[in-house]
Chains A and B, each alone.
Chain A
Amino acid sequence: MPVNDTPAVLMTGVSFAFDDHPVLENIDLCIGANDFFGIIGPNGGGKTTLLKLMLGLLEPGRGRVQVFGRHPREVRDILAYVPQLAVDGGDFPITVADVVLQGRLQPRRFGFRFRAVDRRRAEEELERVGMTAYRRRPLDELSVGQRQRVFLARALCRSPRLLLLDEPTASLDAGSQTNLYEILRELNRSMGIVLVTHDIGVVSRHVRRLACVNRMLITHDEGLITPEMLEETYHCPVDLIAHGVPHRVLHDHG
C-alpha cells in the first residue's frame, strides 16, 4: 500500500448537534489517502452527518475536520460525493449523459458551456461504470442501481482524490452490489474511498478498514466486525451468525 503522509480525513474531538440533539460526540478519526474505509451504524446513528462534515456541508460544533490537511471547502475540487438515492427517481427532466456532464462544471463563470473535452470525459466515465448504453435515456427511467452508477460517473468526472458514498448499496440486489464493489475496488487503486452503510453483511467483505458509529465512533483497523463492536454500536447484542455475517471476516487485502 502506497504511503501518503497527509491523511485524507482527520477528525479530532468532533461533536455535532442538531439544535440540542447531539448527533456525534467526541469523534476522533483518521482515514488514509488510499484507504477503502467503511462506516456502519444504525439509522439515525450519525453516518450521513459524518459524511457531510467531511464534505464541508456541515460545520462541527466542537473539534476540527481536516481533509487532506485543509478545511473541506478548500479542497472541494478533489472531493466527490455520491448521494444516497431514493427508490423513486424523481421526475426531473434530464438525460443520463447530461447528469454525468454536471461533474465537469466550473462554477462561477457567466456563460459557462461544456466543451468537447468535457463531453469526452463524461463518456469515458460512463464507460467505466458500464452505463454507456444508457447515455440518452432519461434519468428517471433507470433503476436505483443504474442511477447509482450514473452518479458515480458524475463524481468521477471531477478526478477526485477522495470519493464519499452514502448508502451506495441500500436498494441493490446482491448481483448489483458485487458489481458496484468491483468498480469501487478498481477505483481504490487511484483514490481513497469512504462509504457509509447500514448493510453490515456486504461492506465487511470489501473494505480495508471499518468504523461503527452511533453517536460515538469505534474503529477497527483490521476491517473486522466483532460482536463487541456491534454490541457497543447498536446498544444491544447482535447475533452475527443469524444475520448472515461470518463471525470473523477474513482480511484479504494484504
Chain B
Amino acid sequence: METVLHLIRDIAAHEFLQRALIAGALVSLAGGIMGTLVVVNRLVFLAGGIAHAAFGGVGLASLLRLPVLPVTALFTLAAAGVMGRLALWGQVRNDTIIGALWAVGMGFGVICIELSPGYHPDLMGYLFGSILAVSRADLWLLALMDLLIVASVAGYAEELIIVSCDEEYARVVGLPVDWIRVGMLLLVSLAIIMLVRVVGLIMVIALLTIPAAAAERFTRSIRRMMAYATLYGLACTLTGLGISFVFDLASGAVIVMTAAAGYLLLMAGRRLRPDRGAA
C-alpha cells in the first residue's frame, strides 16, 4: 500500500511520468482497435514485418538528422505499402516476402545509423521502447494518429468487418476490397508506429495480439472486441508502468509480461468456471 502511495506521489511530482501514462492510454486505443483487425485477419506476421522494417526509418532519420517519429512514420507507411502490395496480391508466397523485407528494413536502418556522423540516437529506445522519454510534441502526434485511426475505423466499420469476415461476398456486393485492405494496412502501420514508442519494435507484436486475444474470450462482436482490447491494453500498460517504475525494470518488457500474465490468468479463470465457455 505504501508503495502505491509512493508511486502516486511520484506521478504527481514528475511530468515525465504523467506523459508516460497519457502515452500509454493513447497507444492502448490504437493497439486495441487495430490489434483486433490484425488478429481476425491473421495479419500478425505482416504486422511484425512492418514493425521491424520501421527500423529503417529510424536509421534514415538519424542519417538525415531529421525528427525521428515523422520520418519513421512515413518510412513505415511506405514499407507497409510495398509489403502489402507484394504479400496480399503478389505471386510469391507471402510469408517469404514478409520475412525478407522484415530483415531488409532492419539492415537498412543499421547501415544508416553506422553512416550517421557522430550522433547516434537512443537505439535501445526504438528496439525496446521508451515510454518514459515521450515528449509533449510526441503526445500531440500520438493523439493525432489515434484520431485518424478512430475516425477511419468508425467511418468504415461495416466495410472493414465484411472484408475481414468474407472477402468474396464483399466483392460480390461491389465493395472496393483492395482499397479497403490497403487502408487497413496503413492504419495498422500507424498503430505499430505508436506502439513502438511504448514497447519497442521487437515487442510490438505482443500489444497488437494479446489484448485482442484476451478480448475475444468475452465477445463475438468486432466492435466490443476493439473496446475490450483497448481496456485490456490500458490496464496492462498502466500496471506494467507502475511495476517497472517501482522495481526499476525496462518498462516495455514489463508491460508485455503483464499483458501475457493477465492472459494466462484469464485462461485459468475460464478453466475453473466451465459454465461460461469461450463463446
Contacts and interface: CB of A to CB of B under 8 A. Distances in A.
- Please report whether the interface of chain B is mostly helix, strand, loop or mixed according to DSSP: helix
B174 interface: yes
Given A57-B168, A79-B172, A112 B220 contact: no
A102 B169 CA distance: 9
A175 B164 CA distance: 33
A95 B164 contact: no
A94 B165 CA distance: 8
Size bracket of the A interface: 20 to 34
A107 B169 contact: no
B222 A93 contact: yes
A7 interface: no
Given A93-B220, A93-B225, A105 B158 contact: yes
Contact of A114 (B155, B158, B164): B158
B220 A138 contact: yes
B92 interface: no
Interface in A83-102: 83, 92-95, 98-99, 102
Contacts of B165: 92, 94, 99, 102
Contact of B174 (A73, A93, A95, A99): A73
B40 A93 contact: yes
A123 interface: no
Given A76-B174, A81-B169, A83-B169, A107 B159 contact: yes
A217 B141 CA distance: 61
B222 A94 contact: yes
A232 interface: no
Interface string B165-188: 110110111111000000000000
Nearest to B165: A92
A111 B220 contact: no
Given A76-B174, A79-B172, A141-B279, A111 B154 contact: yes
Interface of B: 40, 154-156, 158-159, 161-162, 164-166, 168-169, 171-176, 216, 219-222, 225, 279
Interface of A: 55, 57, 73, 76, 79, 81, 83, 92-95, 98-99, 102, 105, 107-108, 110-114, 138-139, 141, 154, 158
